[in-house]
Amino acid sequence: MARNALARATLAAAAAVAVSVPMAGVAQAAPTHGQHKAIHRPIRRRHHALSFNQLAATYVKSLEGIPYVWGGTSKSGFDCSGLSQYVYRHFGKHIQRTADDQFLEFRPVSHAKARPGDLVFFHVDSDPNSYVYHVGVYEGGEHMVAATTSGGTVEWQSFTWAGDTVTFGTITH
């Protein structure tokens, strides 16, 4: 679960918006007892809010270990499309319930253009318009987080086992 700690640290670091630095070229009064010699003023950094995709990719990792439950749509248990729907809804995007319906709702993108937080769709064959039976939240490279199968859990995994039956979809870019 080290990824969860890293994800929390990343979110905390991204939320930082101010640091203190000495003011240059400004006359300063002599410091009183216990004060630092330099007087500080806040400098506002440009705060780049995390994108929806970054938030989704980080949040889904916090759900690792939750059991697979067929038809599950909550933290008590997820199936694959219930997990993706839950993550997207958590950040205000309401998407369809099943993997195939989610695929039809999303705009196809190439693997090269997919961003963490997009969805990975698994087709019954190499036809990219064939039925979609499984979905995961893309994490980059060859990885995703998905609710696996009966007896399994939500987990980080490679999707390379599916070969050329995988496509990617987005609703954000």
The residue with tokens 């090269």 is: 112
pLDDT value, residue 46: 54
What is the phi-psi region of residue 159: left when phi exceeds 0, alpha when psi lies from -120 to 50, beta otherwise?
alpha
Neighbours of 137 (CB within 10 A): 26
Average pLDDT score over residue span 36-59: 70
pLDDT at 5 over 60: no
Residue pair 86/78 in contact by the 8 Å Cβ criterion: yes
Does any domain span residue 42?
A: no
Q: Is residue 32 part of a domain?
A: no
- For the chain, the domain total comes to 1
Domain containing 59 equals 52-170
Which pLDDT band, with edges at 50, 70 and 90, does 72 fall under? very high
Question: pLDDT band at 33, cuts 50/70/90?
Answer: very low
Sheet order of strands, 154-158 included: 107-109, 166-170, 119-123, 132-140, 143-147, 154-158
pLDDT in tens, 113-132: 999 999 999 999 999 999 99
Is the Cβ–Cβ distance between 92 and 35 less than 8 Å? Answer: no
CATH number at residue 97: 3.90.1720.10
Per-residue pLDDT, 119: 98
Q: Is 166 within a domain?
A: yes
The more confident residue out of 101 and 47 is: 101
Does any domain span residue 85?
Answer: yes
Q: pLDDT at position 47, please?
A: 52
Report the alpha-carbon distance of residue 90 to residue 67 in Å, rounded: 19
**For the chain, percent of residues with pLDDT exceeding 70:** 72
What confidence tens digit (pLDDT) does each residue in 155-170 have? 999 999 999 999 999 9
Does the structure show a pLDDT above 60 at 29? no
What number is the average pLDDT over the span 6-19? Answer: 40
35 found inside a domain = no
Residue 69 lies in a domain: yes
12 found inside a domain: no
